[in-house]
Amino acid sequence: MKSLPILDLCVIALYIIGMIAVGIYFSRKNKNAEQYSSASGSIPGWAIGISIYATFLSSNTFLGVPGKAFGGNWNAFVFSISMPFAAWVAAKYFVPFYRSTGHVSAYTNLEERFGPWARTYAVVCFLLTQLARMGSIFFGISLTLQALTGYSMETIMLITGTCIIIYTVLGGIEAVIWTEVVQGILKTLGAILIIYLVIINMPGGITKIIEIGQRDHKFSLGSFAPNFTQAGFWVVILYGFFINLNNFGIDQNYVQRYHTATSVKEAAKSVWLCVWIYVPASFLFFIIGTCLYAYYQVNPGMIDPVKLQVAAERLGAGASAVNIRHLASTLQPADYGDKVMPHFMVTTIPTGLVGLIVSAILSAAMSTISSGMNSSATVFSEDIYKRYFKSGNSSKQTLRSLHILTVIFGLAGMGCGIAMIGVKSILDVWWQLSGVFAGGMLGLFLLSIISKKTGNMEAFAATVIGILVIVWMSLSYLIPNQYSYLKNPLNANMVIVVGTLTIFLSGTLFSRLKNKRLNITT
């Protein structure tokens, strides 16, 4: 650990002050809840597209993806390959559907189709997903800044979280979108800068990186065998398609942005713009991971401090130096992948540029967390507070409640981040948690818009079955080994796939059986 030079600290401070200033600027426009939540439908499609891209490109991507590529291969890039397929469905069906309803919440339609229970269930799943997402991002950013400053991860989360809360509460969705436009550009430039710095410091340059990458199979997309027990190509592309369908189709972060567009065409354009930027941008982060792997293969002694740090964390306080060194010698790249990029920044990147890259990582975290706080507050206000408590609030009262809820969800996200301290892989944790929470929500949503004949009872029964399947798939690892035949044999990323299909197919089957019985009766 080392302290950042004054120049880098000034760069970071200027960035944070700039983001807060944007929030203050847009606070003058936020006179009512509609402006706060949907910007009164005044944002151009290109800005929304970059904003959605910035939300996708969180610090989980900035740190987690290079960590995965460093510790393994390019298997996780298959997630990005799946995005255009989900985007086509979203642009053709989901965007026009939401624009026609006029509801700012993605979940109001579920109550109209199946009743209050469906809406409440989806809202709970969404809020849990957002807390998991915000927590993993808070954890990722604190991991980087801890390596650079030496401050505790809890302190870093508190400081960064407070800044994010301030500009999100002040500026609303319009401030979130326009700051994300800046952040999307900044974080992309940061990725390109890191690649350049690795290459110029690498003996042998690009040729050596490719040579080492090919030798150790770092460019592999995973096994193409139809094996769903491991995270091969087919598991990740299925996971990616369903989770991106969830993102574009029922995630309030994205649905809320559709309402900020000036037209349906502009909203659909924003989805495709996000995809065409995100896919090559995510490719850059896999390149970073492979470049760092090659760099530390050529300079193995330079990674030893990271290994020692991880070993000390695992053994805990009081561990002897001998035991720490022994454990460090047995660690594999996958065990410390998330810590490699912060270490490279500390030891290699020149003064001044570190501040720019940290600002890029901060922007990756701030954009996703701020949109998560804003959308969570909007959903809770529309679907819980107004629905069950006070439906007759004035616009000013609703705006005040949105401000309070934004603060509450920001603090809750920080708490989740603190709870994640010590996890092995940011990306793995986020993928697993999002798959668990999103599976039932997506299945119910697809049932509501595709299976028109499915009624309330059929949807409820299908959802109960889907939840039981998701709980079993997620927790069956707790079953004792003597009953191993009862454990889930599939990879954890298959939870959203199986959960979604279980609810959709069960609901469709129940509705057909009901209609068949009615036809026989009549």
- Residues 6 or more apart whose CB falls under 8 angstroms from that of 115 comprise 456
Half-sphere exposure of 312 (CA within 13 A, CB side): 10
pLDDT of residue 429: 62
pLDDT of residue 504: 92
HEC string of 212-233? HHHHCCCCCCCCCCCCCCCCCH
- Which pLDDT tens digit goes with each residue over 483-520? 888 888 888 888 889 989 999 999 999 988 887 777 77
pLDDT of residue 33: 63
Q: Which CATH number fits domain 6-521: 3.30.70.890, 3.40.50.720, 1.20.1730.10, 3.10.20.30?
A: 1.20.1730.10
DSSP 178: H
pLDDT of residue 59: 63
DSSP 338: G
Contact yes or no for 383/123 (Cβ under 8 A): yes
- What is the Cα–Cα distance from 140 to 150, expressed in whole angstroms? 15
Chain centroid to Cα 418, Å, comes to: 17
Which ranges constitute the DSSP H helices of 380-455?
A: 386-388, 395-419, 426-450
Token reading at 226: 């139809």
Is 106 in a helix, a strand, or coil?
coil
What is the signed CA dihedral for 262, 263, 266, 271, rounded to 10 degrees? 110
- Predicted structure pTM score: 0.80
What is the signed CA dihedral for 459, 509, 126, 80, rounded to 10 degrees? -160
Could you identify the residue written with the tokens 């989805």? 271
Is 393 in a helix, a strand, or coil?
coil
Token reading at 398: 């609703």
- What is the Cα–Cα distance from 386 to 367, expressed in whole angstroms? 27
pLDDT of residue 177: 77
- What is the Cα–Cα distance from 479 to 477, expressed in whole angstroms? 5
Give CA angle at 490 (487, 492), nearest 5°.
Answer: 100
pLDDT of residue 287: 93
pLDDT of residue 1: 43
pLDDT of residue 506: 93
Q: What are the per-10-residue average pLDDT scores of the chain (522 residues)?
A: 70 81 72 63 79 74 82 91 92 87 78 88 84 81 74 84 81 73 79 88 90 93 89 92 87 80 87 90 91 91 87 82 88 84 80 77 74 82 77 71 86 84 61 64 86 87 90 83 86 87 92 79 62
Chain centroid to Cα 473, Å, comes to: 21
- What is the Cα–Cα distance from 121 to 312, expressed in whole angstroms? 42
- What is the Cα–Cα distance from 507 to 500, expressed in whole angstroms? 11
- What is the Cα–Cα distance from 168 to 164, expressed in whole angstroms? 6
Neighbours of 125 (CB within 10 A): 22
**What is the identity of the amino acid at 231?**
A
